[in-house]
Amino acid sequence: MKAKELHTKSNKELQKDLADLRQSYAKTLIDMRTREVKNVKTLNGIKKDIARVLTVLREQELQGDNQ
């Protein structure tokens, strides 16, 4: 997920994406612990995507306060 894509989304869409990413993170974590995931780097990618979404949500919140 690219930051440019996230900036074009609405607050509701970002909240949905965040929930989906968190669910995906939990599932991948369980799969990793049961050794069903072969590529362990996917977990780090999901964490970075969560951080990107949270950053864009915070930026939108701050911009809303300034206007």
Segment 50-64, tens digit of pLDDT: 999 999 999 999 988
Global pTM reads 0.86
Q: Which residue has the higher pLDDT, 51 or 2?
A: 51
Contact criterion met (CB below 8 Å) for 8 and 60: no
Domain 3-62 classified CATH 1.10.10? no
DSSP string over the chain = --HHHHHTS-HHHHHHHHHHHHHHHHHHHHHHHTT--S-THHHHHHHHHHHHHHHHHHHHHHHHHH-
Q: Which residues have CB under 8 Å from 24's CB, separation 6+?
A: 46
pLDDT tens-place string over residues 13-67 = 999 999 999 999 999 999 998 988 888 899 999 999 999 999 999 999 998 865 4
Q: What are the extents of the domains in the chain?
A: 3-62
